[in-house]
Amino acid sequence: MSSDGIGMVREQPFRFAGLPALVATAVGIAMLAAPPAAADEVDFSRDIQPLLAKRCFACHGPDTREAGLRLDLAEPSRATLDSGLRAIVPGDEAASEILARITSDDPDVQMPPEGSRLTATQIDALRRWITEGAEYREHWAFRPVERPEPPASAAAANPIDAFVRDGLARRGLPAPSLADKQTLLRRATYGVTGLPPTEQETRDFLADDSPQAWEKVVDRLLASPHYGEKWARHWLDLVRYADTNSFERDGNKPHAWRYRDYVIRSLNSDKPYDRFVLEQLAGDELPSPGPDDLIATGYYRLGLWDDEPADRVQARYDWLDDLVSTTGQTFLGLTINCARCHDHKIDPIPQKDYYSLLAFFQNVTPMANDGEHIERKLFTDDRASADYKRKLTELNRRRDAAQKAVTEIENRFRVARDQETGGAVVSDDLDDLQFRFYRDTWTSLPAFDELKPEDIGLVPGNRFDIGVAPSLRPDSFGYVFTGFLKVPTDGDYTFELDSDDGSRLTIDGGVAVEYDGVHGTGDPHTATVSLTAGRLPIRLDYFQWLHGKGLSVSWSGPGFEPRLLSAGKGYRKRAELVDAIRDHGERILGADGKQDYDEKAAALKRLKEESVPVEQALVVTESGTQAPDTFLFPRGNPHAEPKPENRVAPAFPAILKPQEPVIVPPASGVASTGRRTALARWIASPENP
């Protein structure tokens, strides 16, 4: 058993011993799962199912069922139709209407109605199949694997050779001769490492006549770091590894290379396959996940991603489809994605199973350019984490002090400048103001309290300032400001809110002004509310969607004209402020004051560019502990109205006869559902080799 309680899927660790072994393994699996039918037996998978699929399913299959007849499944193919007839009656060819139709010369009843008639061989195969019981034999891929007894062969060195030699003998083919030592070394070295043997390696092997010579070569090749490098390429192809996002901008995926190196390390360290699966699908949900557990979840971030899709809902479900498709093909060997819009045309996978599998991923946060929901800091131990936090705290303390010094000068300049130009006066009406910063894309105000902020802190100058953090802000982001409003006296107060994009101002628990959605500035929203004197709790929620102009908040009340509660409208307004200080600072602040500002602003810029070195990984996160509902969408259209009868829960493909998933929420403090762990444990279970 592995450390997390999952039994190993294989008796040996996750190890590919070169291309010959891989090919032999594939051959062996086919032999284990599907013993060949004798030449005189009718085999459903070989002789009947392809014939029905090609000539009958178009009218009597999973989508179209003319006359109520469905031939792709056993039970409906044997049902009594409205006509009173039965297409297939096991063991009774005379009562099986299908035989009467395919042999009839009457054009009104013969089947197939169009195209060429079935051949005599095909008709005979159908007749014999019905006589033998018309068994719809389950496809070999969905039957439990059974270990057969290898054929007896004195010349075979191992069971795989025994199967190969037996197959050659039954076909009257001679067994190949053994390769000479130099050829054998070349094949093995290329197969295991992807590189040719060196001259010295060739000389050493040719000169080694000991019985262990070949064993030493194999051990050396498997111990080579090139083994993992070579075989990782195949895995990386399966999981659609890429360093960039594709589409027209083709931006870089931050830290994606760590996933590549993780796969190489896993192969070179003989990591058990069950652990390999668990780490990639749910490493972040494990108790106390280590660096490799987190790096492995970069699996979820490797696919195509469009940072500016024309249809965000469609783009999200295309991205989820990529997860379903890749997981199904890589870990299950099934093209489950073919059931996105309708039941699978080939495999017995209904559309419901597709969306039930998608439900395991429904709560995963989408890809982004950067930010804490796709990036996570890596620490080898608690000591390293504590050291980083200590250094970051000290850096933030220095930044806050520098920001406060700059903001104080800017506020003095603003007040004087606004008085000159007749603008609203910058107030000192907010107290103990704090911020929470979020990095994501929204089109309406989200439930910020359910999201994890990327940064938090005090707001220097006690103004609603969307430039407070970080130093290099993305195009789309959000803020929550909380603090206190100093209300001088009881009375009616008017608040004006202008933002690009959505914002909501809440005072003493009640919404004062709301201006939600994606829009520009220039149409400020106002509201008048009655307030009592004192320090009242105030909160401002704000998000910006792609290159907005920012935020402006002001208020007026008994005895005073409009006063600003905000620091300006983001970068553009700040750029205007910096330009104004450059042009008028010496006149308004004085020569010494202007020089003092320039020095403090330069010091703040240096501190914002400074960082505490730390390694990060591209990771998966979820949106919380409660996942949204998942619905089956007819024809795969995510814009279809969700209907209660189409709601689905996480479940495994029914064809695999699984148990219900056991979903256990992860440890307290982990913002995840535990769904992906349930999926990973089922895939990696010893019961599902």
CATH of the domain at 485: 2.60.120.380
Give yes or no for a contact between 589 and 597, defined as CB atoms under 8 angstroms apart.
Answer: yes
Per-residue pLDDT at 19: 35
Residue 3 forms part of a structural domain: no
Residue 30 forms part of a structural domain: no
Same domain, 341 and 245: yes
User: Position 457: which residue type?
Assistant: G
Residue 28 forms part of a structural domain: no
Q: How many residues does the chain have?
A: 689
Assign 197 a pLDDT band (cuts: 50, 70, 90). Answer: very high
Q: Count of domains in the chain?
A: 3
pLDDT digits (tens, 9 = 90+) for 17-29: 333 343 333 333 3
Same domain, 409 and 522: yes
Per-residue pLDDT at 22: 37
Q: Which of 124, 142, 160 is the last residue of a domain?
A: 142
Q: Which tops the pLDDT comparison, 321 or 372?
A: 321
Residue 307 forms part of a structural domain: yes
Residue 79 forms part of a structural domain: yes
Same domain, 639 and 592: no
Same domain, 459 and 370: no
Span 404-414, average pLDDT: 81
Q: Which tops the pLDDT comparison, 19 or 511?
A: 511
Per-residue pLDDT at 40: 65
The SS3 assignment for 90 reads coil
Q: What stretches of 302-454 adopt beta strand conformation (E)?
A: 375-377, 425-426, 430-438
Checking if the pLDDT of 673 tops 70, the result is yes
Same domain, 434 and 552: yes
Residue 21 forms part of a structural domain: no
Q: Which of 107, 126, 142 is the last residue of a domain?
A: 142
Same domain, 327 and 444: no
The SS3 assignment for 560 reads strand
Average pLDDT in the chain:
86
Per-residue pLDDT at 45: 79
Same domain, 452 and 562: yes
Residue 150 forms part of a structural domain: no
Same domain, 118 and 260: no
pLDDT digits (tens, 9 = 90+) for 620-658: 999 889 899 999 999 999 999 999 999 999 999 988 878
Checking if the pLDDT of 39 tops 70, the result is no
Per-residue pLDDT at 425: 53
Closest CA to 528 of 554, 493, 555: 493
Same domain, 60 and 123: yes
Span 483-488, average pLDDT: 94
Same domain, 335 and 242: yes
Cα distances (Å, whole numbers) of residue 53 to 65, 70, 72: 13, 11, 8
Question: Where in the sequence is the domain holding 498, given as residue range(s)?
Answer: 400-609
Same domain, 572 and 676: no
Buried b (16+ CB within 10 A) or exposed e, 566-599: bbbbbeebbeebeebbeeebeebbeeebbeebee
Residues linked to residue 550 through DSSP beta bridges, in sequence order: 500
Same domain, 603 and 636: no
Name residue, tokens 């810029």.
605
Assign 546 a pLDDT band (cuts: 50, 70, 90). Answer: low
Residue 406 forms part of a structural domain: yes
